Structure 1
Amino acid sequence: MSSTEEKLKIVSLDVKDIRFPTSLQADGSDAMHTDPDYSCAYVTIKLHSGLEGDGLTFTCGRGTEIVVQAAKSMAPLVVGQIVTDIYKDFATFWRSLTSESQMRWIGPEKGAVHLATAAIINALWDLWGKLIKKPVWRLLADLDPEVLLSVIDFRYVTNCITKAEALELLKQGQVGKEERIKQLMETGYPCYTTQAGWLGYSDEKIRELAQKYLDMGYTVFKVKVGKNLQDDIKRCELLRSIIGYDRTLMVDANQVWEVQEAIDWMKELAPFKPLWIEEPTSPDDVLGHAEIAKALKPYGIGVATGEQCCNRVLFKQFLQAQALEFCQVDSARIGGVNEILSVYLMAKKMGVKVCPHAGGVGLCEMVQHLQMWDFVALSGTSEGRVVEFVDQQHEHFVNPCVIKNAHYMAPTAPGYNTTMKPESIAAYVYPDGSEWESMFAKGLFHDPRKDTGF
């Protein structure tokens, strides 16, 4: 092994359970997730040279320890590799994680093991960006189309899009790319806010936050629904009274309804002119979503889903069944950047807009890169597209996302914006962080270290 290869050898993969007590203020609350503590399994991959890449996958508190253990179980597949060899044939490496002959059984390509895969893959992309001193969106945009395709595992989706079709789309995306990069650097990419719409917020808080974000230049708002119809009507009335009808409103049920219930409920909310209903039923119910989409089309309401689609195969089926109008990829739900790229390509071919989910720990930081790459090198437009923004936990990152005039500004720091501040890790690592020690002492949360067994 040469000295250069030795420096590029992966010598460790560390995983931490990082949690924030967002349930105390009802931040992030919706009809399904009533008391989330925004959290993440946080992976750090270290090279022999000392350079580190950081990646994460978002969780809601309890259960993060399971994802952490899954990532630790995959570490032997990563440690000892020469990182540049991974990048030369990234699709093959990705498949080695998702198709490990025994671990695959507890997925396959879904659940905790796939969330762990996302954290590891995201860390490798952060490391790649740092190695070549580029933000990930620019790394992706600068890759030759053939090289970009080499990071994607097309298994199971070739009946929707072939490599040849994907290559043609990427070649078309090269036209006008430099002009779009210039535009992106100047104005950024449009976003919407969910911050004023959490289900656990009082009317007073919703009113205050809606006005705050309206004054900040936001024109697109999302509100949580699904627990009580009359409350939803009042909440939509409240939002419309503040933002008016010349701005955009979306609603999000977070999977709580039956199919017919979703149709009936949304007919009652139709007077408020929502652009979309998000996750109206089970995230795995392709045909249910298709039925809802068909029933609501005459009302001008689209269906949006994807934040809990477990892999590219499920996205393929949603797209083929015309079960969604807005494709909501999540940067940490499926297997990291590599798999997400295949979803963007399928959506492009099928003519479906991608409007990514974000908001949880680090999701805004990551997803901005994906959508900016799409704008620059694939779709070539931001028309009809918008990225979610939730103003939480950004202060814990070394290079947090930057919002100006309701636009994500293009990141310039190398990597994937996923490196957390050491002091934040020390404070919120679970259960031994200083902030958790304090909350346990105050009786705000149960201390799991006192459990003696089942």
Structure 2
Amino acid sequence: MAALPLEPTDHPYYRNTKVTSLSVTDVRYPTSLFADGSDAMHTDPDYSCAYVVLQTDHPDGHEGHGLTFTLGKGTNVVIAAVNALEHLVVDRNVHGIFANFAAFYRTISSESQIRWIGPEKGALHLATAAVLNALWDLWAKLEGKPLWKLIVDLQPEQIISAIDFRYIRDALTENEALTILREGQTGKQDRVREMEKNGYPAYSTSCGWLGYESDLLRKKLRTFIRAGWTRFKVKVGGSLDDDIRRLTIVREEIGYDKLLMVDANQKWDVPEAISWMQQLARFKPLWIEEPTSPDDVLGHAAVAKALAPLGIGVATGEQCANRVIFKQLLQASAISYCQIDTCRLGSINEILAVLLMACKFGVPVCPHAGGVGLCELAQHMAFIDYIVISKSLDNRVLEYVEHLHEHFAAPVTMKEQNYVPPTAPGYLVGMLPSSIAKYQFPNGPVWKDLMQHKAKPV
């Protein structure tokens, strides 16, 4: 479907702006020292990212900042993949990219030789997300809008022009997507005002990391309850006895009037997931997240079918590689909650496809966040989904974790446990230069000190 022309408005040099260079930096935070982020499969994660900056020849010096989230080791592999994509971006005219973003998405995700080590999955797709995130950030800055507002203000045909429908037309056609988006124009401004007034509902994962001792778990829960939080997620999958002990503590602290979700981070095979969750059903979780391999569509469907009589839904998506996996999960009725990840999928281009498919199949989207910059990124997806696609907040909630926001120039803003729509231009994952310098791996002072004192294996 042809794109509507994206004419320059307040930016007289917009049409002639080119990307002049790409740089990528390995930034790592030693979160494993405190068990922050720990779960059944990732017991000692160091929250990290491959941080991309696209410089341009725009007279106002606009840059695009993007990242993809990692857990420490392996970030160097993603950085190598980013560098392998550099030639596809540098010297490109940005107006040409944005005018038909789907074509550029296919160019960067299907380069003839590089595609072989994907396609559209693994380290290569993480790298693709980082580069595309930076491009979307640049576009929003050129338009002087936060990313969510940029997309909300686009015409339906323009949004469609950013999506590669290859491989998903058996689940969602361009015309079906266009119908959803046109319907989303009705009442759009009312929903914008609602979000600006009330924000988007959030839940906290900050209390429930698997490595937290009992006293710290209670302390965290009480702190968040005093702050008014009513929705919580807890990691499970270490051992059944320990899960029962920890969830007993959680329900003692939050009661049964507050919302609880649990997350196994792919720990189990299918029979184990079913039997384990049957034992945890007494704690009334809303969902079990990632009960098994993220690639196992039929396995998720079996778990969903077995747990439905217990009132437990299945959520997954943070490690689903691409729109094709999501297509199959939705077609197979394998998930009750669709969890997109802004760094796992091929940025907004692919996320929009999943949002639209989820809307067609009637499955609520609850984006995965946390990590480094994921809250800053995911908030835009929640606003876009509500304002112009699903038009519903039923059974929708956005993940929140409290750490690492201080490293960003425009961190998320919360109001009464809701995400407040950002107003600054861009995708808003621009890191403070001081944080990049301090936590750059391996030469930043934090890592030099840790390695000198052998506080961390490297």
The TM-score normalised by the length of structure 1 is 0.97
What is residue 426 of structure 1 aligned with on the other side? 437
What is residue 126 of structure 1 aligned with on the other side? 137
What is residue 267 of structure 2 aligned with on the other side? 256
The AA in structure 1 aligned to 2:303 is: I
What is residue 364 of structure 1 aligned with on the other side? 375
State the shift of 1:406 in Å: 0.6
Distance 1:218 1:353 in 2: 21
Contact 1:20 1:428 survives alignment (8 Å): yes
What is residue 95 of structure 1 aligned with on the other side? 106
What is residue 276 of structure 1 aligned with on the other side? 287
What is residue 153 of structure 2 aligned with on the other side? 142
The one-character-per-residue Cα deviations of 1:154-191 (angstroms, maximum 9, x if unpaired) are 00000000000000000111111111100100111000
Distance 1:368 1:425 in 2: 23
Distance 1:6 1:326 in 2: 40
The one-character-per-residue Cα deviations of 1:47-101 (angstroms, maximum 9, x if unpaired) are 1122111000000000000000100110000000011110001000000001100
Distance 2:410 2:331 in 1: 38
Distance 2:340 2:44 in 1: 23
Distance 1:6 1:299 in 2: 56
Distance 2:16 2:247 in 1: 56
Distance 1:216 1:446 in 2: 37
SS, match of residue 390 in structure 2: coil
**Which one of 235, 239, 242 corresponds to residue 250 of structure 2?**
239
1:111 and 2:84 aligned: no
The AA in structure 2 aligned to 1:330 is: D
**Which one of 28, 39, 43 corresponds to residue 19 of structure 1?**
28
State the shift of 1:6 in Å: 8.3
Contact 2:15 2:94 survives alignment (8 Å): no
Contact 1:6 1:48 survives alignment (8 Å): no
SS, match of residue 163 in structure 2: coil
What is residue 4 of structure 2 aligned with on the other side? none
Distance 2:15 2:218 in 1: 57
Distance 1:6 1:272, change over 3 A: closer
What is residue 28 of structure 1 aligned with on the other side? 37
1:19-98 correspondence runs (5 A): 19-49=28-58, 50-98=61-109
What is residue 345 of structure 2 aligned with on the other side? 334
Superposition CA RMSD, Å: 1.0
What is residue 309 of structure 2 aligned with on the other side? 298
What is residue 192 of structure 2 aligned with on the other side? 181
Which stretches in structure 1 are left out of the alignment for 5+ residues? 448-454
Distance 2:319 2:310 in 1: 26
The AA in structure 2 aligned to 1:440 is: M
1:404 and 2:415 aligned: yes
The one-character-per-residue Cα deviations of 1:249-278 (angstroms, maximum 9, x if unpaired) are 011000010101100000000011000000
Distance 2:457 2:321 in 1: 31
The one-character-per-residue Cα deviations of 1:388-443 (angstroms, maximum 9, x if unpaired) are 00111100000000112110110000001110000000001110112111212222
Contact 1:312 1:343 survives alignment (8 Å): yes
State the shift of 1:103 in Å: 0.2
1:378-389 correspondence runs (5 A): 378-389=389-400
Distance 2:378 2:326 in 1: 17
Distance 1:302 1:6, change over 3 A: closer
SS, match of residue 53 in structure 2: strand
1:314 and 2:314 aligned: no
What is residue 451 of structure 1 aligned with on the other side? none
The one-character-per-residue Cα deviations of 1:213-258 (angstroms, maximum 9, x if unpaired) are 1111211101000111011011111011111101110110000101
Distance 1:216 1:87 in 2: 42
The AA in structure 2 aligned to 1:191 is: A
The AA in structure 2 aligned to 1:119 is: A
SS, match of residue 198 in structure 1: coil
The AA in structure 1 aligned to 2:213 is: S
1:190 and 2:201 aligned: yes
Contact 1:7 1:47 survives alignment (8 Å): no
Contact 1:5 1:82 survives alignment (8 Å): no
SS, match of residue 411 in structure 1: coil
Q: Percent identity?
A: 56
What is residue 450 of structure 1 aligned with on the other side? none
The AA in structure 1 aligned to 2:151 is: L
Distance 2:185 2:221 in 1: 39
Which stretches in structure 2 are left out of the alignment for 5+ residues? 1-11
Distance 1:79 1:411 in 2: 29
Distance 1:401 1:381 in 2: 22
State the shift of 1:4 in Å: 3.2
SS, match of residue 13 in structure 2: helix
Distance 1:228 1:312 in 2: 33
Residues 212-221 or 6-15, more deviating: 6-15
SS, match of residue 203 in structure 2: strand
The one-character-per-residue Cα deviations of 1:346-367 (angstroms, maximum 9, x if unpaired) are 0000000100101000000000
1:438 and 2:449 aligned: yes
